[in-house]
Amino acid sequence: MNNILYKDDLDLRVYTSNLLGSDNTLVLHGGGNTSLKKDGILYVKGSGWDLSSIKREGFAPVKLQSLKELAKLKSLNDSDMVRLQREAMADETAPNPSVEAILHAIIPYKFVDHTHADAIVTISNSLKGEELIKKLFPNFLIVPYVMPGFVLAKKVYEMSKDLDWDKTKGIILHHHGIFTFDNDAKKSYDKMIKAVKKAEDFLDKNAKIKLPEIKPIDFDINTLQEIISKEKGFEVTVKVDQSKEALFYSTLEEEKLRRGVLTPEHIIRTKREPLILKKNDDIQKKVDSYKKEYQDYFNRFKKDEIMLNPAPNYTVIEGFGIVVFGKNEKEADIIKDIVSHTVKAVLRADRLTGYKSISLKNSFEMEYWELEQAKLKRK
């Protein structure tokens, strides 16, 4: 990476962000974020931008000191955080800063990279994830799962008060992802790749998946599509995954198919669990049962939220594979990608010690998080 090729640091920031975004084992469909600190300004990925295609104008310039002051607050709700970050912007025409802007601000390095790397989250989501991550990454600050946004920034702020940043190679957020940082763009990028490769090498050695050949059964997709379309209130686009992984996954016992998302933000696309079907099931009855369980889950944790459509966003059909539903081709492809990455991670985590996602309560908080809902509506 020759600095002469780039006009300035922001050009470098765009370039390495695009590199990270081009690898779907690091980030998927808008996931992850990056930043640059320069002349008292934090240039952080703007909300709604994708790392694979972000350009200079996709970075929101925010006054660095203002963000650092926000980290000192005892509490801050979502709406106020968005408002205060917006008020601290150096260019009011730029997009809203990432919800992780405060966290980027308190990391004392020029370049900060954040991904939801599959390999890292796979290990973290195993039953012995805390032990394994600590052993693999002894020089990282390791943070237990908390909600993204201000709560996460505050947690890292408190944990890093006495931290020797010079000896800290990165930050790992359990069930969420990884941060690396440096005053050089290439070095920060290289640290990310090195850490993720270490996790991938560990999985290759300890969690190889051997999949049998499974011939898919026949299944009436048309009836399933009609029923889901009726429940959603629009004609859904259907995508089918009959890869080796999907077929094997479809043969697992039901409780293993209900263990939650790979990384929290996925829940706004997929819901926490799929509809689970067998060949001769009454599809409508199964959908009705799924909706009833979803309503019970909502009622258990709701405060003043309005329930989303309780119909499933994807289904696992025993011996057939996985079928996803989207309001259009693009959404169906996104859900299919997310589920495909989740399936591989679950199968690999099971080869370690078993798979475990965030709790039901944490899942609800993420699914009904005001900021995530707003982001999805904008898209």
Domain architecture of the chain: domains with CATH? 3-206 (3.40.225.10), 221-378 (3.40.225.10)
pLDDT for the residue numbered 5: 65
User: Side chain identity at 4, as an amino acid letter?
Assistant: I
Count CB-CB contacts under 10 A for residue 357: 25
Q: How confident is the model at residue 379 (pLDDT cuts 50, 70, 90)?
A: low
Cβ density class 204-239: b for 16+ within 10 Å, e for less:
eeebeeeeeebeeeebeeeebbebbbebbeeebbbb
d(CA 11, CA 39): 15
- Non-local (6+) Cβ contacts of 59 within 8 A are 10, 13, 14, 35, 36, 43, 44, 45, 46, 94
What pLDDT is stored for residue 373 in this prediction? 60
Q: Which of 38-47, 276-285, 299-308 has the lowest mean pLDDT?
A: 299-308
**Mean pLDDT of all residues in 306-313:** 95
> Residue 1's pLDDT is what?
52
Question: Taking residues 100-122, what's their average pLDDT?
Answer: 98
Closest CA to 46 of 8, 101, 90: 101
Each residue of 219-267: pLDDT tens digit? 999 999 999 999 999 999 999 999 999 999 999 999 999 999 999 999 9
For the segment 312-339, the average pLDDT, to the nearest whole number, is 98
pLDDT in tens, 134-157: 999 999 999 999 999 999 999 999
Give me the pLDDT at residue 164, please.
97
- pLDDT, average across residues 116-133: 97
Flag whether pLDDT at 199 surpasses 60: yes
Kindly tell me if the per-residue pLDDT of 125 is higher than 60: yes
Q: For residues 17 and 46, is the Cβ–Cβ distance under 8 A?
A: no
In this predicted structure, the answer to whether residue 377 has a pLDDT above a threshold of 90 is no
| C-beta neighbour count of 126 within 10 angstroms | 26
Instruction: Check whether 370 has a pLDDT greater than 90.
Output: no
Percent share of the chain, pLDDT over 90 = 92
In the predicted structure, residue 49 carries a pLDDT above the cut 90: yes
Please name which of 21, 66, 81, 35 lies closest in space to residue 369, comparing C-alpha atoms.
Answer: 81
pLDDT tens digits along 343-366: 999 999 999 999 999 999 999 999
Res 3: pLDDT: 46
Under 8 Å between Cβ of 44 and 35? yes
Give the residues across from 38 on adjacent strands. 41
Summary mean pLDDT of the chain:
95
Q: Residue 268 pLDDT more than 80?
A: yes
pLDDT at 132 over 70: yes
> Do β-strands 59-63 and 177-182 pair in parallel, antiparallel, or remain unpaired?
unpaired
Q: Given this model, what pLDDT does residue 349 score?
A: 98
Q: Is the pLDDT higher at 7 or at 72? A: 72
Instruction: Indicate if the pLDDT at residue 103 is higher than 50.
Output: yes
Question: 314-317 and 321-326: which strand pairing?
Answer: antiparallel
| Average pLDDT of span 271-297 | 97
Residue 7: predicted pLDDT: 84
